[in-house]
């Protein structure tokens, strides 16, 4: 493998996905994401953004094409899904924390089960991650005692606790009160600044403009256009993208 190929952490090749009910969610989608890149995926509701993201860690099957993540074809029969999902962290709109566990326990659970790392070492790493997302004083809080923004920051830290190579975010701020959105986006900006490879489905165009290396526009199951943020937002040379931006900006 050449250096260039090794640098492509996500390689989606001509993927089609038709759900059992006949809905075509993805039509010949191809997308490459290189190490350290931040790619924001935008588009109207129902355009296939979540489905695309979910195919990347095999939460969703594909009908045809190939998805190669970290050099591995993730829809092959013999994929180690636990290993894949440890290396590809995912954060959802709904925070999905374990309600009966503390913030720190939420972070420590998976690393203790999956890795052979000693508990003390896992604890130290997880405490550092809670501090990193601004929640050093919330180790012992249960999710119900935290605001939505705090819960989402715990969810991000929990994904990071597995030391992933890639982070996927599916509308991570859409369920938050407006005043809590920035505290989550700030954590994501921090990660991006550290060089994390990220795919972010979002309606936060300010975030996309400021943080993305590339913005991808999906419509009706297709990638219609992709470009660097400046050209994407300021000089969109695509009719359908202009229509979308005209509605939301």
User: What is the rounded CA–CA span in Å between residue 249 and residue 247?
Assistant: 6
Q: In the bound complex, what is the minimum distance in angstroms from residue 64's beta carbon to ligand ADP?
A: 16
In the bound state with Mg ion, the residue whose beta carbon lies nearer, of 50 and 106, is: 50
Find which of ligand ADP, Mg ion, none residue 160 binds, CB within 5 to 8 Å per kind. none
Phi and psi of 70, rounded to 5°? 55, 40
In the bound state with ligand ADP, the residue whose beta carbon lies nearer, of 74 and 86, is: 74
In the bound state with ligand ADP, the residue whose beta carbon lies nearer, of 50 and 102, is: 50
Q: What is the dihedral of CA 46, 187, 91, 114, to 10 degrees?
A: 160
Phi and psi of 92, rounded to 5°? -105, 170
- Point out which residues bind ligand ADP (CB under 6 A): 19, 21, 23, 25, 43, 45-51
Neighbours of 13 (CB within 10 A): 15
Give the 3-state secondary structure of residue 146.
coil
Q: In the bound complex, what is the minimum distance in angstroms from residue 96's beta carbon to Mg ion?
A: 15
Find which of ligand ADP, Mg ion, none residue 23 binds, CB within 5 to 8 Å per kind. ligand ADP
Neighbours of 145 (CB within 10 A): 12
CA pseudo-torsion sign 136, 140, 143, 147: negative
In the bound state with ligand ADP, the residue whose beta carbon lies nearer, of 146 and 218, is: 218
Q: In the bound complex, what is the minimum distance in angstroms from residue 223's beta carbon to ligand ADP?
A: 12
Find which of Mg ion, ligand ADP, none residue 56 binds, CB within 5 to 8 Å per kind. none
In the bound state with ligand ADP, the residue whose beta carbon lies nearer, of 29 and 184, is: 29
User: What is the rounded CA–CA span in Å between residue 162 and residue 165?
Assistant: 9
User: What is the rounded CA–CA span in Å between residue 159 and residue 19?
Assistant: 28
One character per residue 24-53, x = contact with Mg ion (rule: CB under 5 A): --------------------------x---
Using CB under 5 A, list all residues that contact Mg ion: 50
């Amino acid at each position: 493998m050449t250096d260039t190929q090794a640098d492509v952490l996500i390689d989606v090749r001509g993927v089609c996905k038709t759900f059992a009910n006949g809905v075509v969610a993805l039509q010949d989608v191809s997308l490459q994401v290189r190490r350290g890149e931040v790619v924001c995926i935008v588009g109207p509701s129902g355009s296939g953004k979540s489905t695309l993201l979910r195919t990347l860690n095999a939460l969703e099957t594909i009908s045809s094409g190939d998805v190669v993540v970290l050099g591995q074809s993730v829809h092959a029969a013999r994929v180690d899904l636990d290993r894949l999902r440890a290396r590809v962290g995912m954060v959802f709109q709904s925070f999905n924390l374990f309600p009966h566990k503390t913030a720190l326990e939420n972070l420590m659970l998976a690393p203790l089960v999956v890795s052979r790392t000693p508990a003390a070492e896992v604890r130290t790493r997880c405490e550092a991650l809670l501090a990193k997302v601004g929640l050093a004083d919330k180790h012992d809080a249960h999710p119900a005692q935290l605001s939505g923004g705090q819960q989402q920051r715990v969810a991000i830290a929990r994904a990071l606790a597995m030391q992933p190579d890639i982070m996927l975010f599916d509308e991570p701020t859409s369920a938050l009160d407006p005043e809590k959105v920035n505290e989550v986006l700030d954590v994501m900006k921090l990660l991006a600044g550290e060089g994390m490879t990220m795919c972010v489905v979002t309606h936060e165009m300010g975030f996309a403009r400021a943080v993305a290396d590339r913005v991808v526009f999906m419509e009706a199951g297709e990638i219609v256009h992709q470009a660097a943020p400046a050209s994407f937002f300021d000089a969109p040379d695509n009719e359908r993208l202009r229509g979308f931006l005209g509605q939301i900006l």
